[in-house]
Each structure stands twice: as structure tokens, then as C-alpha cells.
């Protein structure tokens, strides 16, 4: 089996596939136009987010049996085309769900306890205690939007912290357990103190979290997004922070990222992002929630095991 490796992946993927005498070709720097000329040669593709596997490209892949994507998101793959052409699509959200859950917790604790602000102040010789008095997560209600691998793992991470954890998922039901109570969207709006977004990027979720959506919450809330940046309208978020409706935000993903999760133009920051980067009410990280060393291994291991179980 001939397999194209289009992105940097954990060696466990290459080591495992080599055991099955696969011919692996590395195309980390191959452009889209260049890959169009050779995609017909391959039985399998391993990709993260560098190239978009759309119908225009995939229609050239006459031998293709599978696409493997380490991680959770599949927005760069035309799933409808794959299904209609019997191309298997594998992903491995099980591999980085713990990393995402831990990162989300770290971000909200950083925000609640003014860690970024106070650390920088101490480094500059300023020792302010009262001005950096924090708030506790205990006693608050955390509302989870989307209860797949990431949302359910985040709920487990919250257990033991003395919070009420509720979740709404439009497409999943019957998931109440020791960690979470399933609620309607109306109840999510009514009870939530801290909103954590765990939805995939689809046509339905692009710009879904906008001013109208956020104004539905009964309380002033905190917003965490470790899912996909384009689901949250940054301009609306900033407007509601200034109005006091949103008390603070933790963003590991940005609306302004490229499709391969790179920042588009650091020299010309959009005004909403420039505001957030200067604000003590925002904690922003560079799309690293699922980026731990352990997660890279686990994403690769889970993915390659799925491929092997299907084809070898």
C-alpha cells in the first residue's frame, strides 16, 4: 500500500505502517498543485490541516482507500465525497481530549486568578495583592456546548471542583451521568456562569456564537473556546466584554487563523483581536490546547491502530 504523509506526524504512525510493508512518501512541503499531479498514485493519505482535501482534489485520487487525520477536526476533508466514493476517513480525538480538557482548565484558572497580569507585574518589580484578588470556580455553573470527546472529557476534568456541570448538544442525548447533567439550550442559557465551546466547525457552527447567541444568557458569563475560532464572532465578543455581558474570555483558537491554524497577519491585527491582546479580561494561547507531547503520540497511535484494524 502506497501512503502519502502530508504533514509532520508522530513517528509511531510511520513505524507502525512500515511493519506492514507500506510504501511511505513524505510530502511535508509538496504544494497543492504538485500533489494534484501525483495523488492518483496513492492508496492512503495522512494529513493534519495543511492541504484541503476537497472534491476537486479527491476526484483525481482514483486509488484512494483512506484518509487519516490525527486529531479531531475534519473540516478540511470533503466527507460527503469520501462517503460516496468509499474512501474511509479516520480521526483520533481520543488522543488529545485530555490535553484539551486540561488546557481549558488552565486557561480559566489563569483568568480567574489574574495570573498573567500578576506574574508580569512581579517580574517588573510591582507587588499588588488587593488589585489581583481572584475569584473561585467552585460554586459556579459551567455550561458545555457540544458533548463529544472534548466536551465530555472536560466535564470529567471539572469533577471534584465543586461546580455544577451542564451540557447541551443538538445531536446527542441521554448522556447525563456522574459528571454532567444534560440540559436544553434554554436551560444552558439560564444557568451558565462559564460557557465552554466544544463544537466542530461546520456550515452550521461558523459564526454561531455571535452577539445574539451570547445575549441569550441570563447571567453575565465567561467564554472559553478551545474548539474552532471561526465559530465565535470576535467583534461581537469584544462588544459584549465592553458592555459587561461577557466578564472575560479564554481563547485558544481565533477567528483570524488560517485553515492550517496559522495566524494570518501579525503586522495588521484586526481591531477586536488587538483589544483582546491588551485586555486583562482575555487569556489567549496559539491553538495549543491539544498540542502536548503526550497528545501527539496518542493521536498517532489511535489513528494508526484504526487504519491497521481496517486494512491489515
Q: Does residue 271 have a pLDDT over 90? A: yes
| Sequence-separated (6 or more) residues with CB below 8 Å from residue 103 | 226, 252, 285, 288, 289, 290
Q: What is the chain written as a DSSP string? A: -EEEE-S---HHHHHHHHHTT-EEEE-TT--HHHHHTTGGG-SEEE-SSSS-B-HHHHTT-TT--EEEESSS--TTB-HHHHHHTT-EEEE-GGGTHHHHHHHHHHHHHHHHTTHHHHHHHHHTT---SGGG----STT-EEEEE--SHHHHHHHHHHTTSS-EEEEE-SS------SS-EE--HHHHHHH-SEEEE-----TTTTT-BSHHHHHT-SS-EEEEE-S-GGGB-HHHHHHHHHHTSEEEEEESS-TTB-TTS-BS-TTS--HHHHHHHH-TTEEE-SS-TT--HHHHHHHHHHHHHHHHHHH-
Ordered by where they begin, the domains of the chain are 2-95+293-311 (3.40.50.720), 97-284 (3.40.50.720)
Q: Where are the alpha helices (DSSP H) in 113-227?
A: 115-123, 149-158, 185-191, 211-215
91 is an active site residue: no
Measure the CA–CA gap between 30 and 15, rounded to whole angstroms: 22
287 is an active site residue: yes
**Catalytic-role residue among 27, 103, 228, 255:** 228
pLDDT at 268: 83
**Catalytic-role residue among 255, 287, 293, 294:** 287
**Catalytic-role residue among 75, 257, 262, 294:** 257
Q: Does residue 298 have a pLDDT over 80? A: yes
pTM of the predicted protein model:
0.93
- Between strands 181-182 and 88-91, the pairing is unpaired
Q: Does residue 258 have a pLDDT over 90? A: no
41-64 confidence digits (pLDDT tens):
999 999 998 999 999 999 999 999
Question: Rg for the chain (alpha carbons), in Å?
Answer: 21
The percent of the chain in helix, strand and coil, each rounded to the nearest 5, is 40, 20, 45
pLDDT at 206: 96
pLDDT at 259: 77
Neighbours of 205 (CB within 10 A): 20
220-241 confidence digits (pLDDT tens):
999 999 999 999 999 999 999 9
Contact, 43 vs 64, CB < 8 A? yes
Give me the mean pLDDT over the 171-198 stretch: 97
Q: Does residue 264 have a pLDDT over 90? A: no
The separation between the first and the last C-alpha atoms of the chain, rounded to the nearest angstrom, is 10
pLDDT at 205: 96
Nearest to 65 by CA among 92, 44, 38: 44
Contact, 143 vs 192, CB < 8 A? yes
Q: Does residue 99 have a pLDDT over 90? A: yes
- Between strands 88-91 and 282-284, the pairing is unpaired
Nearest to 102 by CA among 269, 279, 250, 300: 250
Amino acid at each position: 500500500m502506497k501512503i502519502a504523509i502530508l504533514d509532520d506526524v508522530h513517528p509511531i504512525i510511520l513505524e507502525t505502517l512500515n511493519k506492514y510493508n507500506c510504501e511511505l512518501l513524505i510530502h511535508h512541503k509538496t504544494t497543492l498543485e504538485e500533489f494534484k499531479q501525483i495523488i492518483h498514485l496513492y492508496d492512503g493519505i495522512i494529513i493534519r490541516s495543511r492541504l484541503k482535501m476537497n472534491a476537486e482534489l479527491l476526484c483525481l485520487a482514483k486509488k484512494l482507500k483512506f484518509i487519516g487525520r490525527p486529531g479531531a477536526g475534519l473540516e478540511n476533508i470533503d466527507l460527503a465525497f469520501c462517503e460516496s466514493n468509499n474512501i474511509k476517513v479516520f480521526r483520533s480525538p481520543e488522543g488529545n481530549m485530555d490535553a484539551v480538557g486540561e488546557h481549558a482548565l488552565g486557561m480559566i484558572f489563569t483568568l480567574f486568578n489574574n495570573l498573567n497580569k500578576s506574574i508580569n507585574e512581579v517580574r517588573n518589580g510591582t507587588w499588588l495583592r488587593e488589585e489581583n484578588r481572584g475569584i473561585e470556580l467552585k460554586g459556579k455553573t459551567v455550561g458545555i456546548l457540544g458533548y463529544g470527546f472534548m466536551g465530555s472529557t472536560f466535564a470529567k476534568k471539572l469533577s471534584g471542583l465543586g461546580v455544577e456541570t451542564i451540557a447541551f448538544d443538538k445531536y446527542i442525548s441521554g448522556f447525563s451521568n456522574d459528571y454532567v447533567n444534560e440540559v436544553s439550550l434554554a436551560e444552558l442559557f439560564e444557568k451558565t456562569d462559564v460557557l465552554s465551546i466544544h463544537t466542530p466547525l461546520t456550515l452550521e457552527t461558523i459564526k454561531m456564537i455571535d452577539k445574539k447567541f451570547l445575549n441569550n444568557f441570563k447571567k453575565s458569563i465567561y467564554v472559553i473556546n478551545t474548539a474552532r475560532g471561526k465559530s465565535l464572532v470576535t467583534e461581537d465578543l469584544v462588544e459584549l466584554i465592553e458592555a459587561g455581558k461577557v466578564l472575560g474570555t479564554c481563547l485558544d483558537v481565533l477567528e483570524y487563523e488560517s485553515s492550517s491554524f496559522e495566524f494570518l497577519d501579525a503586522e495588521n491585527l484586526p481591531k477586536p483581536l488587538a483589544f483582546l491582546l491588551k485586555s486583562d479580561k482575555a487569556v489567549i494561547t496559539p491553538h495549543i490546547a491539544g498540542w502536548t507531547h503526550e497528545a501527539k503520540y496518542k493521536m498517532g497511535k489511535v489513528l494508526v491502530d484504526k487504519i491497521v484494524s481496517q486494512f491489515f
